[in-house]
């Protein structure tokens, strides 16, 4: 039997690269898609070949044509995709009333439209293939909880959550052999976290908020441990994938506020 095929966007770094490495370790054929060609080449040699094929393709998830070309290429080569991780994303921070429209658009184009393009190009093909398939869309704690200074990121990730839940209901309603999960990582040690810490914010309001957020006691997880959690959840067909269960108390607190119609209280940066 030919190896199962995984396609991972944002695969040149961090969580995506770790998921790709784990899939390769399981003997899957792995397609690495990322906008950064140099980092893709590095990721390919970092992962090495362990069983199935390893294939990289430069892809800009914010561009529908680029993702459609990826899907065409992958299905022409391998005829199936068993795991699609719509993972590429960027952190876009700033105070709501100060952040210019292009900053909001960048977050939406990459974090939300990037996932939507994956769904649009891959799901119809996955529904036609003989083998079952699973999709993991990367949200964040920001897909469930808002936080100051995280406006563009939070808005884009909440949209990913809405899309992913809707997709789950629709796929279940037609009895499809395609499953879907929403990955909501807590803090993971990747270059995204480092770039957030280093971002220069122009206004005193933004600088004060960023100082407050960064002083919180957050224990990051390695991308490798995150990838292990993801693949276990996929194997079990779980929709919600959480890396840091300690944050569940904030979901409960939010649910309490909703039911009691109390004003939301900000409790955590993540």
Ligand X SMILES: NC(=O)c1ccc[n+]([C@@H]2O[C@H](COP(=O)([O-])OP(=O)(O)OC[C@H]3O[C@@H](n4cnc5c(N)ncnc54)[C@H](O)[C@@H]3O)[C@@H](O)[C@H]2O)c1
Q: List residues binding ligand X (CB under 6 A).
A: 9-10, 12-16, 34-36, 39, 59-62, 87-90, 110, 114, 138, 140, 185, 187-188, 190-193
Backbone angles phi, psi at 6, to 5 degrees: -115, 135
| Buried/exposed code over 13-45 (b: 16+ C-beta within 10 A; e: otherwise) | bbbbbbbbbbbbebebbbbbbbbeeebbeebbe
Closer CB to ligand X, 95 or 110, in the complex: 110
The distance of closest approach from Cβ of residue 86 to ligand X in the complex, given in angstroms and rounded to an integer, is 8
Closer CB to ligand X, 161 or 207, in the complex: 161
Please return the burial class of 84, using the count of CB atoms within 10 Å of its CB with bins 0-12, 13-18 and 19+.
Answer: buried
Closer CB to ligand X, 110 or 178, in the complex: 110
Query: Measured between alpha carbons, how far is 12 from 9 in angstroms, rounded to an integer?
Result: 8
The distance of closest approach from Cβ of residue 121 to ligand X in the complex, given in angstroms and rounded to an integer, is 13
Closer CB to ligand X, 52 or 89, in the complex: 89
The distance of closest approach from Cβ of residue 261 to ligand X in the complex, given in angstroms and rounded to an integer, is 29
The distance of closest approach from Cβ of residue 248 to ligand X in the complex, given in angstroms and rounded to an integer, is 15
Query: Measured between alpha carbons, how far is 72 from 113 in angstroms, rounded to an integer?
Result: 18
138 beta partners: 183
The distance of closest approach from Cβ of residue 175 to ligand X in the complex, given in angstroms and rounded to an integer, is 30
Closer CB to ligand X, 133 or 227, in the complex: 227
């Amino acid at each position: 039997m030919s190896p199962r095929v995984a396609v991972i966007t944002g695969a040149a770094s961090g969580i995506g690269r770790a998921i790709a490495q784990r899939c390769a370790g399981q003997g899957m054929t792995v397609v690495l898609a990322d906008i950064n060609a140099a980092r893709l080449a590095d990721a390919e040699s970092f992962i090495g070949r362990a069983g199935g094929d390893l294939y990289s393709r430069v892809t800009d998830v914010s561009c529908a044509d680029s993702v459609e070309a990826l899907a065409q290429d992958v299905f022409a080569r391998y005829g199936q995709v068993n795991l699609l991780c719509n993972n590429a994303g960027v952190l876009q921070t700033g105070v709501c009333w100060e952040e210019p429209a292009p900053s909001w658009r960048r977050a939406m184009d990459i974090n939300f439209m990037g996932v939507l393009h994956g769904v649009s190009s891959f799901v119809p093909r996955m529904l036609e293939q003989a083998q079952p398939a699973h999709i993991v869309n990367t949200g964040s704690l920001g897909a469930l909880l808002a936080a100051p200074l995280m406006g563009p990121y939070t808005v884009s990730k909440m949209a990913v959550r809405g899309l992913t839940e809707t997709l789950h209901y629709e796929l279940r309603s037609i009895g499809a052999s395609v499953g879907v999960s929403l990955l909501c990582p807590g803090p993971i040690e990747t270059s995204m976290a480092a770039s957030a810490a280093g971002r220069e914010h122009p206004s005193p309001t933004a600088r004060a908020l960023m100082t407050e957020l960064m002083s919180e006691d957050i224990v990051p997880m390695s991308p490798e441990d995150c990838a292990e959690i993801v693949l276990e959840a996929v194997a079990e067909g779980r929709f919600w994938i959480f890396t840091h269960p300690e944050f569940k108390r904030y979901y409960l607190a939010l649910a309490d506020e909703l039911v009691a119609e109390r004003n939301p209280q900000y409790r955590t940066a993540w």
